[in-house]
Each structure stands twice: as structure tokens, then as C-alpha cells.
Amino acid sequence: MASVLVPVLYIGIVISSLLIFSHFYRKRNAGKLYASYFPSHPERDVYVTLLQQNDPPVHEGLLKAALIKRAMTDVGRVVKLREDKPALQNLLQKGSIGDDLWNSLLQAEKELEAEIMEVVAEANTFVEGWGAIIFQTAGELIANEKMRNALDGTAASRANKEQRYGKVGQKIDLPAMQPVMMAGPPPPGTPAAAMFAAAQAQAQLRAQAQSQAQQSPVPVASPLLATPGKPANGLAPPVPGRAETITSNGEASTPSKSPKKNKKRK
């Protein structure tokens, strides 16, 4: 009987000690303040300061601009939390990070939820229903700001690259290409010899054509310089009373005389 009570008593003591330890550990961590995951929130402080200023009162447009700026910061923090949370969870499971960083992220997530609710409530005080679209407007402004920064950085990047690599589109002076003079004809039986022979034959044909054109030029008569009674093209005009017909083979034929004249000749 005593042999059975000893292990049961041992297990009970171990379980009770673990429960007591976990109770005090959770109680101590519940009141513990972790390091802030995000730095301070200056946009929120600026908005609260402007809202509390009464002498003179701040213009409503300035308060709206400060609230939109605050919402833009909150949107950036939401995006960062969504990107960091899966990675930190994976590292926590592998034991690469401690519980403090994970608890700091969870605490920042709760604070951001309260901040978003507060911004929505403040936006509805200015215009009813503005709280539903204020974060959409903030996201569009963030995208516009990123695009403007990219365009502004293009000029600086261009100037830096021109300073390092030279001006884009600058004309580069290349050395003049000198004709290559061959010492003699290439050896026969090679592709160079065939090309050389073809080039010589083409040059001879071109020279013969030019000499023939210079020796026997073709006169071209202008219709403005034609003499009266003589056609400009050198062809005789058709004889009146003599009709010619063109056959299918392209030759001109004259019609035969009348049958009466043929009878008289007989």
C-alpha cells in the first residue's frame, strides 16, 4: 500500500508546484510593461496639442490635416505589423527570439486597435461618416507620397549616374576607319579569292556600262522645242486618207482598195 502512495504523492506535488509557479508567473507578467514595438507617435501628439489649443482656436482645416496625417502613420504601422507578425511567430516557434519581443508585438497590436478606433471617432466629429473612409484616403495619400519621392529621386539619380558614367546621349568620337590595302590578290581556292573575283567582275561591268552610256547617249527631244510640222518624237504623222489598223500581232496593216477599182485594172 505504501509503495502505491509514494508515486501518487510525488505526482501530486509536482503538478501543484507547476500550477503555483504558472500562477505567479502570469501575475507578474500581467503587470509588466514591455518595450514599445514602435517609437513615439508624434502625429498623435500634434493633433492632441492642436485640439486642446483654445486661445486662439485652431482652424478646422488644420485639425483635419493633422488628423489625416495621424491616420497615415497608423496605416503604415498596420502594414508593418502584418508583415512582421508571421515572421516573428515563425522565429518564436524555432526559439530564435524570446517572449519579450513577441509580447511587445502583441501589445503594440492592441494599442494600434485602440488608436484606430479613436481616429474613427475623431473623424466622425468633423463630418458624419468620414471615419469609414479616412483610412482609405490616408492609404491613397501614402501611395501618392511614395510616387512623388520616386520622381524627385529620379533627377538626383540621373545626375549621379551622369557624373559617374558621363552624360547620357553624349556623342562619342570614334577613330576614323582607314581603308585596308591588300598587298596582292588572295590565294586561289579561298572564299576571299571568290569575293575578290566577283568584285572585279562587277567593277568591269559597271565601267563598260558607263563608257557605253557616254559614247552613245540617247537624245531626248523636248515637246517644247519641236518644230512646226515635225513631231517631237521623230515619227512621221499619219497620211490623211490612209487608215491603218493594228492587228492582233501588233503590226499595222492598210485596208485594201475598193472592188470597183480592182475591176477597172483587170
Q: What is the pLDDT of residues 86-142, one digit of tens each?
A: 999 999 898 888 888 888 899 899 999 999 999 999 999 999 999 999 999 999 999
Name the DSSP class of 241.
Answer: T
The more confident residue out of 70 and 162 is 70
**Cβ neighbours of residue 131 under 8 Å, at least 6 residues apart?**
119, 120, 121, 122, 123, 124
* Distances 190 to 10, 78, 182, 195, 196 between C-alpha atoms, Å: 103, 75, 15, 9, 10
pLDDT band at 11 (very low <50, low <70, confident <90, very high): confident
pLDDT band at 1 (very low <50, low <70, confident <90, very high): low
**Which range has the top average pLDDT, 8-22, 50-64, 213-227?**
50-64
Distance CA 249, CA 261 (A): 29
Distance CA 66, CA 68 (A): 5
The tens digit of pLDDT for each residue in 226-237 reads 444 444 444 444
Distance CA 120, CA 135 (A): 9
Backbone angles phi, psi at 34, to 5 degrees: -85, 165
Tell me the residue type at 150.
Answer: A
- At residue 181's C-alpha, the angle toward residues 176 and 183, to 5°, is 155
pTM: 0.51
For residue 154, pLDDT beyond 60: yes
- Written as nine digits, the cell of 136 is 482609405
Q: What is the largest CA-CA distance in the chain?
A: 172
DSSP H/E element including 255: none
The tens digit of pLDDT for each residue in 163-173 reads 887 765 555 55
- Written as nine digits, the cell of 201 is 567582275
- At residue 236's C-alpha, the angle toward residues 233 and 241, to 5°, is 140
For residue 260, pLDDT beyond 60: no
- At residue 215's C-alpha, the angle toward residues 213 and 218, to 5°, is 60
The tens digit of pLDDT for each residue in 163-215 reads 887 765 555 555 655 555 555 666 776 777 777 788 888 888 888 888 887 77
pLDDT at position 17 is 86
pLDDT at position 172 is 55
